[in-house]
Structure 1
Amino acid sequence: MGEQMIDFGKYKQSLTLLESQFGHWRTLDTALPIWIQEAVSESVIQRYETCYDCLWKVLKRYLKEGLGLPDVPNSPKPLFRIANENNLLTSDIARWLIYADTRIGTSHDYDGEKAKAALNIMDAFIKDAVNLYQTMSGETWP
């Protein structure tokens, strides 16, 4: 039993794609038509949703199989609290709960304010997701 048996591939791929698309969004030419700007923003948010979902599912498996914890819950917020209690998170638990609320917001209501909120946390989320990846996988981020 251990983290060697846990497949981090989908998490790593989704985080790589998010990081790349967020980089494109940050350097996007504001002279481009608004529909292109919106499409790139929406793509970043969709990649965030995918990465977030991969992250918490791998975290759940890591807590069960990597750390051997019994009775691991099946939802992100309690998992983040347990991860925090086990010193897996490099940032404050409050920030992880914001990521969870942001993910809920993007899936239930895609208004402009929630999209802006998601884009505003993206830099911090990517850094935290990279740190968690490194902690769980034992690998250095590319």
Structure 2
Amino acid sequence: MIDYDKFKQSLTLLESQYHHLQTLDDTLPDWLQEAVSESVIHRFETCYDCMRKVLKRYLKNSLGLPDVPNSPKPLFRMANENRLLPSDVDQWLIYADSRIGTSHDYDGEKAKAALELMGAFIKDAVALYETMSGEAWL
């Protein structure tokens, strides 16, 4: 049996904080807007990492696939071959690049690019959660 709780919790927190960012008052100080943006990025990183671990377990345990890779891009390709991904595999490879980029972002450009992906990522992560867990999203 696969435990989806951490993935579900991290996705719920990401979804909530992203909503806060979208509805944030533009008149608030820059430092506050930046703090909320950074929180969304951090929650994206956590959610992405939880999702990837659960996806790997799902491919191994539920589908019984041998030699499931650790690396995200081959993992997403394998998930795509097994019709698990709700969007094109190229989009998932962009998510993987974004996750790597947020860890090594020194000028803020990669964080901005990641934030632009957040709505699509959340939608895809929810759909993947529903597919793997068999549960409807909140």
State the TM bucket, normalised to the shorter chain.
over 0.9
2:126 maps to 130
Task: Find the partner of 1:84 among 67, 75, 80.
Answer: 80
Equivalent of 1:57, from 39, 53, 57? Answer: 53
Deviations 1:4-63 (A, max 9, x none): x00000000000000000000000001000000000000000000000000001000000
Task: Tell me which residue corresponds to 1:70.
Answer: 66
Q: Which amino acid aligns with 2:45?
A: E
Partner of 1:40: 36
TM-score normalised by structure 2 residue count: 0.99
| 2:7 aligned residue (8, 11, 15) | 11
> How far off is 1:108 after superposition?
1.3
Residue of structure 1 aligned with 2:102, choices 83, 102, 106: 106
* Structure 2 residue aligned with 1:115: 111
State the Cα distance separating 1:90 from its structure 2 match: 1.1
- Secondary structure of the residue aligned to 2:135 is coil
The runs of at least 4 aligned residues of structure 1 exceeding 6 Å deviation read none
Q: CA RMSD in A?
A: 0.6
TM-score, structure 1 length as denominator? Answer: 0.96
| Aligned residue pairs, count | 138
Q: Which has the higher contact order (CA 8 A, sep 6+)?
A: 1
Equivalent residue number for residue 27 of structure 1: 23
Cα distance in structure 2, aligned partners of 1:102 and 1:110: 14
C-alpha displacement of 1:110: 4.0
Q: Tell me, which stretches of 5 or more residues in structure 1 are unaligned? A: none
How much has 1:72 moved relative to structure 2? 0.5
User: 1:21 and 1:128 mapped to 2: Cα distance?
Assistant: 17
How far 1:111 moved relative to its partner? 2.4
Q: Percent identity?
A: 78
- The alpha-carbon deviation at position 121 of structure 1 amounts to 0.2
* Amino acid corresponding to residue 16 of structure 2 in structure 1: S
Contact kept in structure 1, 2:105 and 2:111, CA below 8 Å: no
Superposition deviation, residue 132 in structure 1: 0.2
